[in-house]
Amino acid sequence: MKHDNLPDATQQTAQAQFSSLAEPLVDDAIAAAGNLQSDPDAEALHKLRVALRRLRTLLWAYRPLLNREFYDKQRAFFKFLAGAAGKTRDWDILIQLLCELRGRERASFDDLRSARGNALETSRETLTQAGIKPALRDALKEANTELNTAPEFAASRKFARQQVAVAQKSFRKRVRRAARARRSDYASFHAVRKAGKKLRYLLEFFEPSLKKKQVKGVRKLKKIQKRFGELNDVVASENLVRSNLGVFRDRSSADRGLAALDKERNRRMREAAKLLRQAA
């Protein structure tokens, strides 16, 4: 993603660039939250969660220039909001997966859709109580104040390259670790997914300031992120079923769903492991 409206990176401080990058993300999150009140569509939830995740990643990039207490507070707030949206999104993913894997059991899907509706109401209530629009505006204002009252200012190009280099090193380390891990070690796979997502967002944020070699391999990164995201969907769905067995019409229905998800998880783990070996 190119940011054509940004000032020349050679003439901009990292502090000023933060505002240029954060404001569109805050606008996206507020718009998605507003749409959620009138439209229960899964896409509104997805857009809200993505905007909040990107804000969290941007905040992570700027953490060397921020007060640690302020950073921890804002990161926790963005994570809380994303979690509120994510609860409903998780039901959407589970229903879609079970429809693909066990399309004959329509009755149990009706029960799941009812649970999804309840989760949506909870998401709406949580986000409304959080006052997402003024809260995000205040968070942006406070971050800008923190950054612009710093004793020293960082050159945006140098800062961007440094932070992307840190993220790239972390991603490569997690890929190597996961490639050596047992296939049952999902935690190492999950770490690759999170590190890859963070790196991809940073490459999109800072692309105009980066060296060509830093943006090489973006296509491979997207492929890894997609493959590991698909694996995470199954794992998260299994956990959702296990923690909500009472939603199903009977235990045998839940067990059949878990069996199908378990089989699909093993298939996606094999695919993810194969991709890891190629990337390591």
What is the number of other CB atoms lying within 10 angstroms of the CB of residue 25?
22
What percent of the chain stands above pLDDT 70?
A: 92
**Distance between CA atoms of 264 and 102, rounded to whole angstroms?**
11
- Residue-wise burial string across 235-270, b where 16 or more C-beta atoms lie within 10 A, e elsewhere: bbbbebbeebeebbeeeebbebbbebbeebbeebbe
Mean pLDDT by 10 residues, the chain (280 residues): 45 87 94 77 80 95 92 92 86 91 71 89 86 92 89 88 96 91 85 94 94 87 91 96 90 91 94 83
Which pLDDT does position 40 carry in this prediction? 61
**The two structure tokens encoding residue 243:** 């923690």
d(CA 261, CA 255): 10
- Picking from 201, 215, 195, 209, the residue whose alpha carbon sits closest to that of residue 17 is 209
Answering whether pTM is above 0.85, one says yes
First to last CA, the chain: 26
Q: Give the Cα separation of 201 and 179 in Å (integer).
A: 23
CA distance 33 to 87: 14
159: tokens are 């800062």
CA 124 to CA 3: how far, in whole Å?
32
- Residues linked to residue 13 through DSSP beta bridges, in sequence order: 155
Report d(CA 201, CA 199) in Å as an integer. 5
Cβ–Cβ contacts within 10 Å for residue 65, how many?
A: 19
CB-CB contact of 77 with 59 (8 Å): no
Residue 3, pLDDT score: 43
**Three-point CA angle 73, 51, 141, nearest 5°:** 50
The predicted structure's pLDDT at residue 150: 75
What is the CB neighbour count within 10 angstroms for residue 115? Answer: 18
Structural domains of the chain, ranges and CATH numbers in brackets: 13-154 (1.40.20.10), 156-280 (1.40.20.10)
